[in-house]
């Protein structure tokens, strides 16, 4: 039951705010380096670090530089990185077969990191949009994203990523039934320890724009993704999708975007399931750009925004600020 405090002056809340050590002692929620997941963009080439124009400070890295980034992440205390490919147009097709090519960019990067930085966790995205000439997360037939045929492609993609050495698969496609298909495939092919972090509550959001630039999907996308990503006005639906994905074999769930959906994070975390949030590219870009212009104190806003995720009940946070935050906390 809630405690009813004594009336003033016996109860003076400012007593607990008087000094920094007192504030530290009574703080309800705190951020740790172990809460952070660092998304990294991978591209072809050698010795390449290419700025993403719409995400100040974020780079596309060639595989050799991704290995260096992984080593820097583990030195800073970040437990896991998430890799996303910038796929060349020549590898994009309507059938998306590059997604399950054992030697595609993301699988090569995974193997290289696993060989040289074995202690860091690796999370890979399961969706077809980086490999689709239509820019969609699923296969497109007659202008429509088809569900069941896409599941067969996602199964092959997931198995190729597990074989490459992924620790966590993050199905972000939002197709119906994909968690069950992937979990059964992992079990049947001797990958029982590969975890699934389902993007169970992924909203059809305008905050994804810079990410699509970073992976080269914006120039391919035809139409929008509203027939499979969630309506921003829905909350109960998010809970239904989370429960469905858990029943199908998900180990943890993702809310995406992050800050505009903290209410969803809270509701899901109250189910007792490990809940992560993705502070997406648009959220990052707003903070970074405003910080560059001196309109906000960038460092303080970054920390405040991440604390908000913890306060909402998140056990993990995907954020492009992860490395700078972890190194500042070291």
Q: For 251-307, how does the pLDDT look when each residue is reduced to its tens digit (9 = 90+)? A: 999 999 999 999 999 999 999 999 999 999 999 999 999 999 999 999 999 999 999
pLDDT at position 330 over 90? no
According to DSSP, the residues that pair with 37 across neighbouring strands are: 80, 318
pLDDT at position 214 over 80? no
pLDDT, position 202: 96
pLDDT, position 217: 66
pLDDT, position 2: 75
Contact between residue 43 and residue 86 where contact means Cβ atoms under 8 Å apart: yes
Q: What is the CA radius of gyration of the chain?
A: 20
pLDDT at position 314 over 80? yes
The pTM score is 0.94
DSSP secondary structure string for all residues of 187-255: HHTT-TT-EEEEEEEEB--GGGHHHHHHTT-TTT--S-STTTSBPTT-SHHHHHHHHHHHHHT-SEEEE
Mean pLDDT of 112-133: 96
Give which of 292, 293, 294, 317 is closest to 304, Cα–Cα.
317
pLDDT at position 190 over 90? yes
Q: How far apart are CA 109 and CA 1, in angstroms?
A: 51
Where in the chain are the domains?
A: 31-329
Instruction: Give pLDDT tens digits for 124-177.
Output: 999 999 999 998 999 999 999 999 999 999 999 999 999 999 999 999 999 999
CATH 3.20.20.70 is the classification of domain 31-329 = yes
Instruction: Give pLDDT tens digits for 56-87.
Output: 999 999 999 999 999 999 999 999 999 999 99
Q: Which of the residues are catalytic?
A: 202, 256
pLDDT, position 109: 98
| DSSP structural state of residue 6 | P
How high is the mean pLDDT of the chain? 94
Q: How far apart are CA 24 and CA 47, in angstroms?
A: 43
Mean pLDDT of 304-325: 97
Work out the number of other CB atoms within 10 angstroms of the CB of residue 212.
18
Mean pLDDT of 14-25: 91
Q: How far apart are CA 210 and CA 219, in angstroms?
A: 12
pLDDT at position 220 over 80? no
pLDDT, position 222: 77
pLDDT, position 287: 96
């Amino acid at each position: 039951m809630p405690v009813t405090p004594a009336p003033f002056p016996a109860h003076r809340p400012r007593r607990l705010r008087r000094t920094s050590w007192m504030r530290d002692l009574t703080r309800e929620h705190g951020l740790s380096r172990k809460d952070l997941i660092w998304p990294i963009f991978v591209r072809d080439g050698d010795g390449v670090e290419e700025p993403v124009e719409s995400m100040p400070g974020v780079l596309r890295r060639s595989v050799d530089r991704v290995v260096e980034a992984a080593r820097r992440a583990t030195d800073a205390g970040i437990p896991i990185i998430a890799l996303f490919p910038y796929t060349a147009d020549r590898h994009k097709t309507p059938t998306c077969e590059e997604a399950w090519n054992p030697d595609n960019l993301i699988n090569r990067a995974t193997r290289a990191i696993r060989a040289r930085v074995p202690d860091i966790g690796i999370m890979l995205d399961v969706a077809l949009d980086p490999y689709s000439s239509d820019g969609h997360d699923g296969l497109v037939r007659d202008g429509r994203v088809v569900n069941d045929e896409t599941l067969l492609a996602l199964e092959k993609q997931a198995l190729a990523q597990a074989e490459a050495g992924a620790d966590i698969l993050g199905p972000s496609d939002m197709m119906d039934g994909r968690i069950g298909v992937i979990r059964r495939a992992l079990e049947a092919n001797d990958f029982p320890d590969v975890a699934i972090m389902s993007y169970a509550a992924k909203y059809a959001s305008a905050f994804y724009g810079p990410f699509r630039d970073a992976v080269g999907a914006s120039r391919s996308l035809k139409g929008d993704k509203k027939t499979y990503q969630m309506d921003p006005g829905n909350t109960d639906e998010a809970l239904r999708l989370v429960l469905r994905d858990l029943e199908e074999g998900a180990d943890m769930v993702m809310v995406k975007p992050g800050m505009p959906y903290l209410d969803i994070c809270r509701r899901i975390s109250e189910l007792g399931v490990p809940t992560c949030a993705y502070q997406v590219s648009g959220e990052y870009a707003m903070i970074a750009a405003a910080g560059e212009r001196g309109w906000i104190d960038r460092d303080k806003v970054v920390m405040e925004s991440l604390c908000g995720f913890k306060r909402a009940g998140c056990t993990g946070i995907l954020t492009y600020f992860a490395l700078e935050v972890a190194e500042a906390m070291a």
